[in-house]
Amino acid sequence: MNENTLIVGRDLRVWFEIRKTLFSKPIYVKAIDGVTISIRKGETVAVVGESGCGKTTLGKTLLKLYKPTSGQIIYDGRRIDTLEEKDLKWYRREAQIIYQDPYSSLNPFFTIERILMEPLIINEIGNSIQERREIVYRALRDVKLEPPELFANKYPHMLSGGQRQRVAIARSLITNPRFIVADEPVSMLDASVRVEIMYLLRNIQEKYNTSFLYITHDVSTVKYFSDTINIMYAGKIVESGPVRDVLANPLHPYTQALIEAIPDPDPANRKTRRSVPSGEPPSLINPPSGCRFHPRCPYFIKGKCEVIEPELIEKMPNHKVACHLY
Amino acid sequence: MSTILTVENLRLYYRTRRGIVKAVNNVSFQLERGKTLAVVGESGCGKSSLAYALIRILPRNVHEYSGVIRIDGVDVLKLSEEEFRKNYRMKKISIVPQGAMNSLNPVLKVGDQLAEPLLVHLDIDKDEALRRAAEVLENVRLPKALLERYPHELSGGMKQRVLIAMALIMKPEIVILDEPTSALDIITQANIINFLKDLQSEYNLSYIFITHDLGVASELSDYFAVMYAGKIAEMGPAEDVLTNPMHPYTEKLLKTTPRLRSESMLEFIPGSPPDLIEQIPGCSFNPRCPYAFEKCRIKEPHMIRISSQHYAACWLRGDEK
Amino acid sequence: MSTAPTGLKNILREVLQTKSGKIAIIILSVILAMSLTVWITGSEEVVKNWNEPEYWIDNPRLAAPEWVSWVTGSNAPRSIILKPEDFRKTYSEDPLTGQATIQLRTRFYYDYNDVPSEIILKLNVNATTRSLITLSWTKPDGSKLEAYRKDVSRGAYLIFLYTDADAVSSIKSYLSGINASPDIAIQTVLFSSEASLKSGEPKILRSSDVNPPRPYEVIISVTSRKEGLSASAQLDLLGKVYGIAGTDNKRRDIFIGILWGAPVALAFGLTAALIISFVQTILGALAAFYGYRIDEVVERLTDVYLVLPFLSLLITIQFIYKTTIWTILITVIALSIFGTITKSTRSMVLQIKEEPYIEAAISYGASKARILFLYILPRVLPYTFANVTVLVPSYIFLEASLSLLGVGDPVLPTWGKLIEEAFIGGATFYGYWWWILIPSSLIILVSMAFALLWYSFDKILNPRLREE
* CB-closest option in A106, A122, A157 to C357: A106
- Give the three-state DSSP class for B22: strand
CB contact (8 A) between residue C1 and residue A157: yes
Average pLDDT over residues A146-155: 90
- Reported as a pLDDT band with limits 50, 70 and 90, residue C9 is low
* CB-closest option in A198, A264, A277 to B215: A264
Read off the pLDDT of residues C56-89 as tens digits, 9 standing for 90 and up: 888 888 888 888 888 888 888 888 889 989 899 9
Is B262 part of the contact surface with chain A (CB cutoff 8 Å)? Answer: yes
Read off the pLDDT of residues A33-69 as tens digits, 9 standing for 90 and up: 999 999 999 999 999 998 878 899 999 999 999 999 9
Residue C125, beta-bridge partner list:
C155, C231
Question: How many Å apart are CA A287 and CA A310, to the nearest integer?
Answer: 14
Question: How many Å apart are CA A180 and CA A317, to the nearest integer?
Answer: 27
B77-82 long-range Cβ contacts below 8 angstroms, 24+ apart: B81/B56
Nearest CA in chain C to B17: C468
Give me chain B's average pLDDT, please: 87
Question: How many Å apart are CA A103 and CA C142, to the nearest integer?
Answer: 93
- Give the three-state DSSP class for B54: helix
Question: How many Å apart are CA B62 and CA C412, to the nearest integer?
Answer: 59
Cα dihedral B227, B233, B236, B242, rounded to 10, equals: -80
Residue numbers in A near C351 (CB within 8 A): none
Query: A268 pLDDT exceeds 50?
Result: yes
CB contact (8 A) between residue A192 and residue B252: yes
Least confident span in A91-100, B27-36, C68-77:
C68-77
Among B120, B113, B228, smallest CA distance to B162 is for: B113
CA–CA min distance C467, chain B (Å): 8
CB contact (8 A) between residue A191 and residue B256: yes
Helix axes C8-17, C433-461, angle to 10 degrees: 120
Residue numbers in B near C467 (CB within 8 A): 17, 61
CA–CA min distance B60, chain C (Å): 10
For the ranges A18-22, A252-256, B180-184, the one whose mean pLDDT is highest: A252-256
C457-461 long-range Cβ contacts below 8 angstroms, 24+ apart: C457/C11, C457/C15, C457/C382, C457/C385, C457/C386, C457/C389, C458/C386, C459/C18, C460/C4, C460/C5, C460/C11, C460/C14, C460/C15, C460/C18, C461/C4, C461/C382, C461/C383, C461/C386
Nearest CA in chain B to C466: B17
pLDDT at C260: 83
Q: Choose, out of A67, A86, A104, A179, the residue to mutate when testing the contact with C (most C CBs < 10 Å).
A: A104
Is B221 part of the contact surface with chain A (CB cutoff 8 Å)? Answer: yes
Q: What is the CB neighbour count within 10 angstroms for residue B156? A: 21
Query: B100 pLDDT exceeds 70?
Result: no
Query: C46 pLDDT exceeds 70?
Result: no
| Touching partners of B (3+ C-beta pairs < 8 Å) | A, C
Is C356 part of the contact surface with chain A (CB cutoff 8 Å)? Answer: yes
Query: C467 pLDDT exceeds 50?
Result: no
Question: How many Å apart are CA C175 and CA C165, to the nearest integer?
Answer: 15
Q: What is the DSSP letter of C60?
A: P
B 264-293 near A (Cβ less than 8 A):
266-270, 272-273
Angle (CA) A208 A93 A131, round 5°? 80
* CB-closest option in B36, B194, B239 to A274: B194
CA–CA min distance B152, chain C (Å): 20
Read off the pLDDT of residues A68-77 as tens digits, 9 standing for 90 and up: 999 999 999 8
Query: B9 pLDDT exceeds 60?
Result: yes
- Which uninterrupted H or E stretch holds C236? strand C230-238
- Reported as a pLDDT band with limits 50, 70 and 90, residue C1 is very low
Question: How many Å apart are CA B263 and CA B261, to the nearest integer?
Answer: 7
Is B300 part of the contact surface with chain A (CB cutoff 8 Å)? Answer: no
Alpha helices in A111-160 (DSSP H): 112-122, 129-142, 148-152
Is B261 part of the contact surface with chain C (CB cutoff 8 Å)? Answer: no
Altogether, the residues listed in chain B come to a count of 321
- In total, the C-beta contacts within 8 angstroms joining chain A to chain B are 129
E-assigned strands of C153-200? Answer: 155-160
Question: How many Å apart are CA B159 and CA B100, to the nearest integer?
Answer: 8
Query: Is the Cβ–Cβ distance between C325 and C408 less than 8 Å?
Result: yes
CA–CA min distance B191, chain A (Å): 7
Is C359 part of the contact surface with chain A (CB cutoff 8 Å)? Answer: yes
Helix axes C433-461, C254-290, angle to 10 degrees: 30
Among A89, A170, A78, A168, smallest CA distance to A124 is for: A89
Residue numbers in C near A89 (CB within 8 A): 365
Query: Is the Cβ–Cβ distance between A11 and A35 less than 8 Å?
Result: yes
Question: How many Å apart are CA A252 and CA A230, to the nearest integer?
Answer: 11
Give me chain A's average pLDDT, please: 90
Average pLDDT over residues A175-187: 92
pLDDT at C271: 92
Read off the pLDDT of residues B263-314 as tens digits, 9 standing for 90 and up: 777 887 887 788 888 888 888 998 889 898 888 888 888 888 888 889 999 9
Query: What's the complex ipTM?
Result: 0.85
Query: C3 pLDDT exceeds 70?
Result: no
Residue numbers in B near A273 (CB within 8 A): 194, 197
Cα dihedral B299, B305, B306, B310, rounded to 10, equals: 110
- Give the three-state DSSP class for C135: strand
A 149-168 near C (Cβ less than 8 A):
155, 157, 168
Residue numbers in A near C364 (CB within 8 A): 92-93, 96, 118-119, 122-123, 171, 175
pLDDT at A1: 54
Is C410 part of the contact surface with chain A (CB cutoff 8 Å)? Answer: no
CB contact (8 A) between residue A99 and residue C361: no
Query: C400 pLDDT exceeds 50?
Result: yes
B 48-67 near C (Cβ less than 8 A):
61
End-to-end alpha-carbon separation of chain C, Å? 10
Read off the pLDDT of residues C211-225 as tens digits, 9 standing for 90 and up: 888 899 999 999 988
Query: Is the Cβ–Cβ distance between B41 and B209 less than 8 Å?
Result: no
pLDDT at A182: 95
pLDDT at B320: 53
Query: Is the Cβ–Cβ distance between A179 and A95 less than 8 Å?
Result: yes
- Reported as a pLDDT band with limits 50, 70 and 90, residue C468 is very low
Question: How many Å apart are CA B169 and CA B114, to the nearest integer?
Answer: 8
Residue numbers in C near B62 (CB within 8 A): none
Nearest CA in chain C to B21: C468
Average pLDDT over residues A119-132: 91
- Reported as a pLDDT band with limits 50, 70 and 90, residue C192 is confident
DSSP letters along A208-235, please? Answer: H--EEEEEES-HHHHTTS-SEEEEEETT
Question: How many Å apart are CA A6 and CA A208, to the nearest integer?
Answer: 14
Query: Is the Cβ–Cβ distance between B237 and B312 less than 8 Å?
Result: no
Query: C264 pLDDT exceeds 90?
Result: no
Read off the pLDDT of residues B202-243 as tens digits, 9 standing for 90 and up: 889 999 999 988 999 999 999 999 999 999 999 999 999 999
Residue C108, beta-bridge partner list:
C216
* CB-closest option in A92, A104, A122 to C356: A104
pLDDT at B1: 61
Residue numbers in B near A216 (CB within 8 A): none
Read off the pLDDT of residues C407-416 as tens digits, 9 standing for 90 and up: 888 888 888 8
Read off the pLDDT of residues B136-166 as tens digits, 9 standing for 90 and up: 888 887 888 888 888 888 887 888 888 888 8
Residue numbers in A near B212 (CB within 8 A): 190-191
Residue A10, beta-bridge partner list:
A72
Question: How many Å apart are CA B306 and CA B313, to the nearest integer?
Answer: 10
Type of residue numbered C388:
V
Query: C8 pLDDT exceeds 70?
Result: no
Query: Residue A240 phi/psi, 5° resolution?
Result: -155, 155
Say what the pTM is.
0.77
Altogether, the residues listed in chain A come to a count of 326
CA–CA min distance A145, chain B (Å): 12
